[in-house]
């Protein structure tokens, strides 16, 4: 979770003096070290925004020009009559990132921001110079698709040199094949605030994921105000955003991209999906590990899991979050029912627990507060506690949501969440499994593989198992467990409708439900 500090544009003042500057805005931030430290004390990861240019009024200009690091192209000078305000700064020049010395030099100019505690970099406007520009590595026409990749490499190499223990993070409007190896995420650019723009987004994310770039998101609510601001559009887009790898609201009219901008009802909807995002973090973080190890994206087209289903081949209006959660964003204004295609197997409505058998097309209720979500039969989903920020508390309790069907399992991945120590084996994998045989459901928590010291001491698992009727008996570690009232701390219970609950399963541990 993080806070992005935007650049200064015209009268809209941000963290720096303006586009093409790396010095803090003097009136807004007279004491940068104190401001950045204050934000860090609020448990925010900080990301600064910039373009791949240098302004002629920057104190870095003379050195960069003398060393040949600047191109003869940049964002054009505007005539005084066309400037939005008197302090609108233009006249930048692109940095030649095809020159290795320029890449290293540019990174060195960011070291004061490292000292302030900046965690990541929003590298905007990376489409590069015009085709006729002459770069060290060749003409702009040839390097168009490589320009921003070289820029990302500058930051990745710099991070590896100056803080090798930390993970690099970049948010980029452009990029190309290979950007993922530099810790570069992408978003879909400056799009309109319309339902038509929202409807186009899932397919963009799916295609990029299949291209090898797993981290992607959108400007939730749309960037440009091409039409009137809409509370309904923001709520629907926010729901979709909660199931994107990068979950981020942004727009030119930024005051309308805040969860509380549209009143109490919309704020409550936004809070619901922020909280769901945090609760799903053990599952989602494990998907990130799968992506790192296997190259599979976090958001996956149905065809990836169901290649033999012709209905799935060109379906981009819905997708899988991992293998187990089907997401069907509502992208039409006024819709309160939504068509969903379910591939082969049994699928449970996440909100109502109604079971549907696929392959089938269904129409589900979709009031404004509800994003259509389905969970695959056989799913084993690890959930964490609600948090206000990542790492707020230890995950000493993990809830395991299980929809039993034959034998199934999920590998829960955990590391320190911050450093690159995982590259040297400093992580833990816990297999969570469920099996059905002879009227018995058996759930197991295996011993962790890897570094067990990364797990909280006395970790316990609370199982929530889909079961329309209560079991006649429950055993934990071979010992019978007493039944208690629903929601008591230990023992087992049944909510009388859909779920059996067994609390306090140790690691390793085994429980059995007899029916």
**If 0-12 CB within 10 Å is exposed, 13-18 middle and 19+ buried, where does residue 82 land?**
exposed
Q: Which residue has the tokens 């509800």?
A: 370
- Dihedrals φ, ψ of 208, to 5°? -65, -40
Catalytic residue among 96, 124, 148, 219: 124
Task: Answer yes or no: 127 catalytic.
Answer: yes
Task: Answer yes or no: 190 catalytic.
Answer: yes
What CA–CA distance (Å, rounded) separates 390 from 377? 29
Catalytic residue among 1, 23, 190, 462: 190
CA dihedral 128, 130, 133, 137 (to 10 degrees): 40
Q: What is the DSSP letter of 344?
A: E
Long-range Cβ pairs for the range 339-344 (8 Å, 24+) = 339/363, 340/364, 340/372, 340/374, 341/302, 341/311, 341/312, 341/315, 342/374, 343/302, 343/305, 343/306, 343/309, 343/311, 343/312, 344/306, 344/309
What CA–CA distance (Å, rounded) separates 246 from 373? 19
Is the backbone of residue 37 left (phi > 0), alpha (psi -120 to 50) or beta? alpha
Using DSSP's 3-state secondary structure scheme, residue 305 falls into helix
Helix extents (H) in 94-212: 100-108, 111-116, 140-143, 147-162, 195-210
Residue-by-residue DSSP string for 443-461: EEEPPPEE-GGGSPTT-EE
CB-based contacts of 449, cutoff 8 Å, min separation 6: 428, 429, 430, 431
CA 507 to chain centre: 29
Task: Answer yes or no: 124 catalytic.
Answer: yes
C-alpha distance from residue 282 to each of 12, 278, 370, 381, 386 (Å): 38, 8, 22, 9, 11
- Yes or no: say if 484 and 501 are a contact pair by the CB < 8 Å rule: no
Catalytic residue among 127, 199, 229, 510: 127
Of 483, 407, 391, give the one whose Cα is nearest residue 443. Answer: 407
CB-based contacts of 79, cutoff 8 Å, min separation 6: none
C-alpha distance from residue 505 to each of 432, 457, 460, 489, 515 (Å): 12, 13, 5, 12, 20
- Yes or no: say if 116 and 32 are a contact pair by the CB < 8 Å rule: yes
User: Which H helix or E strand runs over 282?
Assistant: helix 281-294
For the stretch 397-410, what's the b/e string if a residue is b when 16 or more beta carbons lie within 10 angstroms of its beta carbon?
bbbbbbbbeeebeb
Which residues have a catalytic role annotated?
Answer: 124, 127, 190
């Amino acid at each position: 979770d993080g806070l992005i500090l935007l650049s200064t544009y015209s009268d809209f003042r941000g963290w720096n003096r303006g586009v093409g500057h790396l010095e803090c805005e003097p009136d807004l931030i007279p004491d940068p070290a104190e401001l950045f430290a204050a934000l860090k004390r609020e448990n925010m990861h900080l990301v600064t925004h910039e373009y791949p240019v240098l302004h002629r009024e920057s104190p870095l200009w003379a050195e960069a020009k003398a060393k040949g690091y600047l191109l003869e192209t940049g964002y054009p000078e505007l005539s005084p009559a066309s400037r939005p305000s008197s302090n609108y700064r233009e006249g930048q020049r692109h940095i030649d990132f095809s020159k290795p010395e320029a890449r290293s030099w540019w990174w060195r100019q960011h070291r004061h921001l490292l000292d302030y505690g900046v965690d990541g970099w929003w590298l905007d406007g990376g489409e590069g110079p015009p085709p006729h520009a002459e770069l060290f590595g060749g003409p702009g026409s040839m390097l168009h698709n490589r320009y921003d990749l070289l820029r990302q490499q500058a930051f990745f190499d710099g991070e590896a040199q100056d803080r090798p223990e930390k993970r690099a993070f970049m948010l980029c409007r452009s990029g190309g094949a290979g950007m993922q190896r530099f810790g570069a995420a992408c978003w879909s650019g400056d799009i309109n605030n319309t339902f038509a723009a929202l409807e186009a987004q899932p397919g963009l994310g799916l295609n990029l994921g299949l291209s090898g770039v797993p981290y992607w998101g959108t400007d939730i609510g749309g960037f440009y105000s091409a039409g009137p601001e809409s509370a309904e559009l923001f709520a629907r887009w926010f729901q979709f955003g909660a199931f994107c790898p990068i979950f981020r609201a942004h727009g030119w009219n930024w005051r309308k991209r805040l969860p509380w901008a549209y009143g109490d009802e919309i704020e409550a909807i936004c809070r619901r999906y922020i909280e769901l995002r945090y609760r799903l973090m053990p599952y989602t973080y494990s998907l990130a590990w799968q992506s790192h190890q296997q190259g599979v994206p976090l958001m996956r087209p149905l065809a990836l899991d169901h290649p033999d289903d012709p209905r799935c081949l060109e379906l981009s209006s819905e997708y899988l979050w991992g293998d187990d959660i089907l997401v069907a964003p509502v992208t039409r204004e006024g819709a309160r029912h939504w068509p969903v295609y379910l591939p082969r197997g049994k699928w449970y409505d996440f909100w109502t627990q109604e079971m549907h058998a696929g392959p089938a097309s269904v129409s589900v209720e979709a009031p404004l507060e509800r994003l259509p979500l389905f969970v695959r039969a056989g799913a084993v989903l690890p959930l964490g506690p609600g948090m206000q920020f990542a790492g707020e508390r230890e995950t000493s309790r993990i809830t395991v949501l299980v929809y039993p069907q034959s034998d199934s399992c999920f590998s829960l991945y955990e590391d320190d969440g911050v450093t690159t120590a995982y590259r040297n084996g400093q992580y833990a994998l816990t297999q969570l499994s469920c099996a059905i045989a002879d009227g018995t459901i058996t759930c197991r928590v295996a011993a962790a593989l890897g570094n067990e010291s990364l797990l909280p001491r006395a970790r316990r698992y609370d199982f929530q198992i889909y079961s329309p009727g209560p079991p006649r008996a429950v055993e934990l570690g071979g010992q019978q467990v007493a039944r208690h009232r629903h929601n008591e701390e230990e023992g087992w219970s049944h909510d009388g409708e859909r779920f059996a609950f067994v609390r306090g399963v140790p690691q390793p541990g085994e429980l059995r439900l007899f029916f």
